Structure 1
């Protein structure tokens, strides 16, 4: 939930109590005070997550005082929470026209990003950094947009700025690590994932991504240690088990790999990647029946899975199902895996 910028609630000073003095009614307040009273009521309702009620109060405040910039800003923020993004943008426009501020630029950027208007959102994040250079989230979110566009060097520079402004910004460390990994700087990535995880121990993707980076850097032992720690903390992620299984496979621990891929398909029976990987591990263990069965399951889930055809071809070859092996290797080649054609040719597969 976004934090509203709350104006100080006006204090109404009452006269000394006297029998002949009438009470002051809200309707008799000057327009500016009426608007502020309604505005403060809207803020209170927003903070209690009563967004529709808050919206009504901000509407009334603006009806009384159409030039109330903060009411436009907070109505925009409320509309954002209600996922009324286009209306939120319109209110941010009004707030910026009346009283330009970094909060309105940032809020409009978020609404534009929610609508998929990424270029416009990036422009607003830039305006935010120009208006308030020490606002770390603006640097971070602009970096994230640049990362999504594949501009990893520029994204890393933005994450640098976010961290410079806020050295405790765990997500900025995490995403700078991801940019470094894309740029091939694995050691920098590992260090930043470590920083993110240290700052925020519940940020488990940092642990998972550090493991993947260590694996890519050839540190299989370190990767396995990270995967082990991850699955101790989160036991329901099939991707984690699949990645640990792949690491065990690369380390030659095929039985451990089978165990992990099996856990992955228990958690997600439609995870074709895990079925195929277990097939590959069974091939290494020379359990060809199980390898063929797992590859068949992967193909049933994804008929365009070239690697699964290749693995089933190997299993069928060892099961002395020559025709089936040839068909699978040809299919793998047809789907773009040229090694399938090589296996077919080397095994004497004739033309169909």
Structure 2
């Protein structure tokens, strides 16, 4: 009985503890992705780093993506954009070249290459790229805008006007395009149209302060001195360190007959920029109106020291010297103004000096 019990117990324990024997299965893990997937993963990592402004790290990811997949046009394009941010413009152009070779219909690649070429001062080549971008996508407003910017800088104001108009047609909310179209209108003497464009730019972007300053200048040219002074003052309430704005408000005050106010503005411009020859000459003109002839002569002399070819300053100093009874000095100044091409200088010299 004892022996039987023991055997039976052992069998019962065996039944509880035993496990069926199974064959072992090897686990297979992929250590590398297929090339296309790996390139895409590296590309996405590069984009994320670009968005974080970690540009060097982004470049490394795009390099690795292109090493894995040499025909990856998006990686060339975005590496070019990253190099543009790093101001590596020559290398950016090379990457845009590759992107265009792989995708000849990519208007954004032409636009990006235009930006890089513009940064390299290759204006003609940049203009060609912007033109190609507009041909590939006529409603891409930035291409029109930047081509207009190049044409404006070349002095081709009518062509620039047409481009800025195309930009606002493509994107009616493009405040900068309205602003620059206003500037083209102003250069062409279309002051009322310029004011309207600056109005629209400010409506779309109220903090676009250059539009406020330029609208003031357009209003002054159009004869709206009250409106010009209001705009200049509104600008100077927000920007107090711009000598050009003080000089221009001074000119508007001069036109309005407020010579003391003009002197105050020209003086502030000079305080901000001691080398501002225009402000010295303008203050000399205001002193002449106030019959402060010694001050006028001193200011005109300083303008001439800063710019020896400043014909208007010689003319104004001539007027001041005449009133100070320095006839010889006045004649010398008027003749110098005439020599520099100022017709009024000849008129005064011929009338008073011979």
Matches within 5 A, 1:14-33: 21=27, 24-25=30-31, 28-33=32-37
Report the alpha carbon displacement of residue 149 of structure 1 after superposing the two structures with TM: 2.9
Show structure 2 runs of 5+ residues with no match. Answer: 1-24
Answering whether residue 126 of structure 2 is matched by residue 143 of structure 1, we say no
Aligned to 1:225: 230
Number of residue pairs aligned between Structure 1 and Structure 2: 330
What is the 5 A alignment of 1:190-339?
A: 190-339=195-344
Query: Structure 1 stretch 254-263 or stretch 38-47: which is displaced more?
Result: 38-47
State the alpha-carbon separation in 2 of the partners of residues 261 and 190 from structure 1.
Answer: 25
Deviation of 1:20 (Å): 6.5
Alignment of 1:115 onto 2:117: no
Give the greater-gyration-radius structure (CA). 2
Measure, in 1, the Cα distance between the counterparts of 2:98 and 2:83: 14
Match of 2:80 in 1: 76
2:291 alignment partner, SS class? coil
Q: What is the Cα deviation at residue 145 of structure 1? A: 2.0
1:148 Cα deviation from its structure 2 partner: 2.5
1:174: how far off?
0.8
1:48 paired to 2:52: yes
TM-score, length of structure 2 as denominator length = 0.88
Flag structure 1 segments of 5+ consecutive residues without an equivalent. 1-18
Superposed counterparts of 1:60-71, under 5 Å: 60-71=64-75
TM-score by length of 1: 0.89
- 1:172 maps to 177
Q: Greater CA deviation, 257-266 or 216-225?
A: 216-225
CA distance in 1, matches of 2:308, 2:171: 48
1:206 is displaced (CA, Å) by: 0.8
* Structure 1 ranges of 4+ moved more than 6 A: none
What is the deviation of 1:23?
5.5
Distance 2:158 2:333 in 1: 42
Q: CA separation in 2, counterparts of 1:231 and 1:20?
A: 78
Q: Distance in 2 between matches of 1:230 and 1:260?
A: 14
* Alpha-carbon separation, structure 1, partners of 2:329 and 2:158: 48
In the alignment, does 2:159 pair up with 1:160? no
1:173-223 Cα offsets, whole Å, 9 max, x none, are: 111112222333221111110000111112111111111111111111111
Say if 1:312 and 1:153 are closer, same or farther in 2 by CA, change over 3 A.
Answer: closer
CA–CA separation in structure 2 for the residues paired with 1:220 and 1:87: 50
Looking at structure 2, the residues matched to 155 and 58 of structure 1 have their Cα atoms a distance apart, in angstroms, of: 37
Shift of 1:24: 4.3
Per-residue CA deviation, residues 22-74 of structure 1 (Å, 9 max, x unaligned), is 6543xx22211221222122112211112122112111111111011111111
Q: Report the Cα offset of residue 88 of structure 1.
A: 1.1
Shift in Å, 1:257: 0.6
- Report how far residue 156 of structure 1 moved: 2.1
The whole-number CA distance in structure 1 between the counterparts of 2:129 and 2:350 is 58
2:189 pairs with 1:184: yes
User: How many Å separate the matches in 2 of 1:333 and 1:196?
Assistant: 42
The alignment's C-alpha RMSD in Å is: 1.8
